[in-house]
């Protein structure tokens, strides 16, 4: 719709009486403000629910974990076939399982800072679970750092 069409629509009251120029300007201004508000709400909601893209393959997992674990990391994938004995802590499953054990190392050291194990029905899901675990760890680390800066660390008392 062009500007002239908006003004004509804004000036039409119904019946045979047209609105004054002042009323037409107010109506058009109200339409513009509502459109801008809708755009702002749309952008806010889009940013609010933006999530990182899931890991699609092992190369992407390698790149993402390299960014998330600045001081190095290591992972080992174990595939269990039908009827193979699995560790006692494996979740119950009707399909063969994939076990992914990963470690994050401390700065300038071979000491392990974090060690985790995830289980999944496929390698891709195991890689995604590993990346999500690390992202969750980073979120917790950021919360702890923020609380420590503000002196709200009740867990260190």
Statement: residue 9 has pLDDT above 80: no
CA–CA distance, 110 with 98 (Å, rounded to integer): 26
Nearby residues of 105 by Cβ (< 8 Å), 6 or more positions away: 69, 71, 72, 73, 74, 111, 112, 113
- How do residues 84-135 score in pLDDT, each as one tens digit? 888 888 888 888 888 888 888 887 777 888 888 889 888 888 888 888 888 8
Q: What is the separation, in whole angstroms, between the first and last Cα of the chain? A: 65
**pTM of the predicted protein model:** 0.57
Q: Of 71, 82, 121, whose CA–CA distance to 100 is shortest? A: 121
Q: Of 24, 28, 25, whose CA–CA distance to 12 is shortest? A: 24
Q: How many CA atoms lie within 13 A of 75 on its CB side?
A: 21
- How do residues 32-84 score in pLDDT, each as one tens digit? 999 999 999 988 887 766 666 667 677 777 777 777 777 778 888 888 888 88
């Amino acid at each position: 719709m062009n500007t002239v069409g908006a003004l004509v629509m804004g000036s039409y009251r119904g019946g045979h009486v047209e609105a004054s120029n002042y009323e037409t300007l107010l109506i058009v201004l109200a339409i513009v403000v509502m459109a801008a508000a809708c755009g702002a709400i749309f952008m806010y909601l889009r940013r609010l629910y933006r999530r990182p893209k899931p890991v699609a393959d092992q190369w992407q997992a390698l790149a993402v974990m390299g960014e998330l674990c600045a001081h190095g990391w290591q992972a080992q994938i174990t595939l269990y076939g039908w009827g193979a004995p699995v560790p006692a802590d494996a979740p119950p499953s009707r399909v063969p399982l994939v076990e992914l054990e990963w470690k994050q190392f401390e700065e300038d050291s071979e000491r392990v800072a974090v060690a985790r194990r995830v289980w999944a029905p496929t390698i891709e899901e195991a890689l995604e679970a590993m990346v999500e675990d690390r992202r969750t760890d980073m979120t917790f680390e950021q919360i702890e750092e923020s609380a420590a800066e503000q002196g709200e660390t009740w867990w260190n008392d």
